Amino acid sequence: MTNGTFDRFTPRGTLSREDLMAYAEGRLDPAAAHEVELHLEADPLLRDAMEGLQQPGALQGLHRLRAHAPQAGGNAWLGWTASITAIAIVSGAVYLFVGNEPSPQVLPAMEQVTMITVPEPPAAPPHDAPELAAAEILTATEIPESLHIGHADTERHSIAQANTLPREAPVERTTLDPVPPKPTALPGDAAHHAPTVAPARKPSLQLIYLHGLKLLHPKEMYGRSPDIGLLTTSVDARFATAAEQRAAHGEERRIAYLAFMDEALDKFVHNDHKGCLEELRYVLSQYPDDVNALFYAGLCCYNLGMDRHAERFLGRAATHVFNVFDEEAEWYHALALERSGKPETARSELERIARSTSFYADRAKGRVASGE
């Protein structure tokens, strides 16, 4: 101020550490934030420190410096500002470095800081392909029937091959007649949660066959046979959407898992791959690790020319904790890799199958030898 006139661009009072931290964290009201900004404009060192504080991970680093904060006596403000500047320098280096190195790193800082550990970035999604959308199924173009996979009774998942015993995991086999759906209404506030897939492998697993196609019994995966949630198709005129109607009256219904899969596989054996895939997409929306849905969704995607999705679903089925589809899924996954334009990866997988005792070893040898 000069001549008793207030200069609105001159900072007033003393800026505390609490004020600066609150500004960096966005906790100040506009008037208080303006006061801090006046101090930043007047002090280049403080302004650089604030830019450092606004870098990712800088505030966490500053909290670790509190043990090294200057004690009473001496120029405490200068020492604290220098600490902030150290954080600014380290944070800037960390920010640039992490962009090129995803794994956690420990970087040395200035003398006041012994070590600052950069937090590990979130893990990448386990499956990098986009989620399957209903519109993709609707617009898919089916490949010629002569190229379809999964339908012949010479395939390992066919009931015709039921006596082909796995080499390491014997199974118990049963056949089921089609199960009629039995929908039941649920209370309006009942939430559905997918049961967790059991992680442990068992020496004996129960398989069932619907329409001559193999399935792992859902009790093996979930400890019980779960239900599939169904949505009502009609909406009362009083409600704008089905979601509003369900919220008001609990219009969600359930159908037994095996009855639902029976309908899905009925469509598969009749070459209605779009209809089957839509049903399986619905299962996976509720039970994303269901090995039955993953395997048959992969077959449908392959036959519909949806190669990237086929590769993803079959790859997951081939490496699933429940290894009931491992051999056929590995074989079909190799074929999907070929169709996806990855011949070298496909050949490597085929060569590995050819060297194994897989049900598909001879087919893989023939394909490798012919150079297909």
Query: Can you tell me the mean pLDDT for 326-348?
Result: 95
Structural domain for 78, as ranges? 17-117
Query: Can you tell me the mean pLDDT for 54-74?
Result: 57
- Are residues 138 and 112 part of one domain? no
Domain membership of residue 82 (yes or no) is: yes
- Are residues 181 and 112 part of one domain? no
With 0.75 as the threshold, say if the pTM is over it: no
Rounded Cα distance between 115 and 190, Å, is: 49
Rounded Cα distance between 268 and 216, Å, is: 17
Beta-strand pair 171-175/205-210? parallel
Task: Determine the pLDDT at residue 95.
Answer: 41
Nearest to 88 by CA among 111, 61, 70: 61
Rounded Cα distance between 115 and 94, Å, is: 12
Task: Determine the pLDDT at residue 248.
Answer: 55
- Are residues 97 and 141 part of one domain? no
Task: Tell me what the pLDDT averaged over the chain comes to.
Answer: 74
Domain boundary among 117, 149, 175: 117
Domain membership of residue 92 (yes or no) is: yes
Q: How confident is the model at residue 209 (pLDDT cuts 50, 70, 90)?
A: very high
- Are residues 169 and 63 part of one domain? no
Predicted confidence (pLDDT) at residue 148 exceeds the cutoff of 80: yes
Query: Residue 159: which residues within 8 A CB-CB, separation 6 or more?
Result: 153, 175, 209, 212, 213, 214
The fraction of the chain above a pLDDT of 70, given in percent, is: 60
Give CA separation, 249 vs 5, 68, 121, 193, 318, in Å: 69, 60, 43, 19, 41
- Are residues 160 and 105 part of one domain? no
68-82, 121-135, 303-317 — which is least confidently predicted? 68-82
Q: How confident is the model at residue 370 (pLDDT cuts 50, 70, 90)?
A: confident
Domain membership of residue 127 (yes or no) is: no
Residue 226 CB coordination number (10 Å)? 22
Predicted confidence (pLDDT) at residue 86 exceeds the cutoff of 60: no
- Are residues 263 and 141 part of one domain? yes
- Are residues 335 and 189 part of one domain? yes
Rounded Cα distance between 312 and 124, Å, is: 15
Task: Determine the pLDDT at residue 183.
Answer: 41
Task: Determine the pLDDT at residue 257.
Answer: 95
| Under 8 Å between Cβ of 83 and 65 | yes
- Are residues 76 and 30 part of one domain? yes
Task: Determine the pLDDT at residue 253.
Answer: 76
First CA to last CA distance, the chain = 85
36-45, 207-216, 241-250, 252-261 — which is least confidently predicted? 241-250
Query: Can you tell me the mean pLDDT for 106-112?
Result: 37
Q: For the domain that residue 176 is a member of, what is the CATH number?
A: 1.25.40.10
Read off the tokens for 324: 């009931």
Domain membership of residue 144 (yes or no) is: yes
pLDDT in tens, 18-55: 887 787 777 888 778 778 788 777 777 777 777 777 66
Domain membership of residue 310 (yes or no) is: yes
- Are residues 308 and 211 part of one domain? yes
Domain membership of residue 322 (yes or no) is: yes
Task: Determine the pLDDT at residue 249.
Answer: 52
Domain boundary among 63, 90, 117: 117
- Are residues 190 and 94 part of one domain? no
Higher pLDDT, 95 or 146: 146
Nearest to 97 by CA among 62, 75, 121: 121
64-73, 148-157, 255-264 — which is least confidently predicted? 64-73
Task: Determine the pLDDT at residue 41.
Answer: 79
Task: Determine the pLDDT at residue 371.
Answer: 76
Rounded Cα distance between 297 and 346, Å, is: 20
Number of domains in the chain: 2
Query: Residue 17: which residues within 8 A CB-CB, separation 6 or more?
Result: 80
Higher pLDDT, 106 or 22: 22
pLDDT in tens, 213-246: 999 999 999 998 889 987 554 444 545 555 555 5
- Are residues 215 and 277 part of one domain? yes
Rounded Cα distance between 273 and 267, Å, is: 7
Task: Determine the pLDDT at residue 236.
Answer: 47
Read off the tokens for 232: 């009502």
Predicted confidence (pLDDT) at residue 311 exceeds the cutoff of 70: yes
The fraction of the chain above a pLDDT of 90, given in percent, is: 42
Domain membership of residue 1 (yes or no) is: no
Predicted confidence (pLDDT) at residue 65 exceeds the cutoff of 60: no
Domain membership of residue 2 (yes or no) is: no
Task: Determine the pLDDT at residue 43.
Answer: 78
Predicted confidence (pLDDT) at residue 61 exceeds the cutoff of 70: no
- Are residues 167 and 71 part of one domain? no
Predicted confidence (pLDDT) at residue 337 exceeds the cutoff of 60: yes
Predicted confidence (pLDDT) at residue 168 exceeds the cutoff of 70: no
